């Protein structure tokens, strides 16, 4: 074998390895992109379920005499803001966090109204909404895990060399807007 044949053979082997690496990395990036989309879609499905339950809950609570109208207005306004924002953007995440806070305040206030607490419709809707919140939490966890995997993978070698082929971009996590504030127990005032 001549030197030219050896060099040509090595060149072909290196080229084949690079091509196969690019194919594997590209397929993995596309797979992770699809999982991120799936995670975002799962969150949207659960949010839609929440949006559908809230009007029934509000109507049930409105039937209770002297209930805090300001709290109901906050829930209604937060729900509308969240519905009006499409996609899983930072604004959408902030609106969803506001809605979660308003719902927590509604549930905290309702504890002081015996008529509401004894209403079977309210109790059933509260349980459904609690289950939905748990589903949203699970969907957010799944989404954040997939985003972490995706963001980490695209910045590792050799994926970092080929991420442009798959149009890979860093995806945002679904995070609390203000973690310190969000962890506080809602204040109930009369």
Angle, vertex CA 32, rays to CA 34 and CA 84, nearest 5: 50
Total structural domains within the chain: 1
Could you list the residue range(s) of the whole structural domain that residue 104 is in? Answer: 22-182
82-128: pLDDT as tens digits? 888 887 778 888 888 888 888 888 877 777 777 676 677 777 878 88
C-alpha closest to that of 80 among 51, 42, 44, 43? 51
79-83 own/partner pairs: CB under 8 Å, 24+ apart: 79/51, 79/54, 82/47, 82/51, 83/51
Residue 190 in any domain: the answer is no
Residue 40 in any domain: the answer is yes
Residue 14 in any domain: the answer is no
60-73: pLDDT as tens digits? 777 664 566 777 78
CATH code, domain with 44: 1.20.1440.20
Output the pTM of the full model.
0.71
């Amino acid at each position: 074998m001549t030197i030219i044949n050896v060099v040509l053979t090595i060149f072909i082997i290196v080229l084949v390895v690079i091509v196969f690496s690019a194919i594997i990395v590209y397929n993995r990036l596309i797979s992770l992109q699809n999982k991120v989309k799936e995670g975002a879609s799962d969150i949207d499905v659960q949010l839609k379920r929440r949006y559908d339950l809230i009007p029934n809950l509000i109507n049930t609570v409105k039937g209770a005499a002297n209930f805090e109208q300001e709290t109901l207005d906050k829930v209604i306004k937060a729900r509308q803001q969240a519905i009006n924002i499409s996609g899983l953007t930072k604004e959408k995440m902030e609106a969803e966090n506001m809605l979660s806070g308003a719902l927590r305040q509604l549930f905290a206030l309702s504890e002081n109204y015996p008529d509401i607490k004894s209403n079977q419709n309210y109790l059933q809707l509260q349980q459904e909404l609690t289950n939905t919140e748990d589903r949203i939490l699970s969907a957010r966890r799944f989404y954040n895990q997939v985003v972490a995997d995706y963001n980490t993978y695209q910045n590792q070698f050799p994926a970092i060399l080929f991420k442009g082929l798959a149009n890979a971009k860093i995806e945002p996590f679904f995070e609390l807007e203000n973690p310190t504030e969000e962890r506080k127990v809602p204040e109930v005032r009369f």
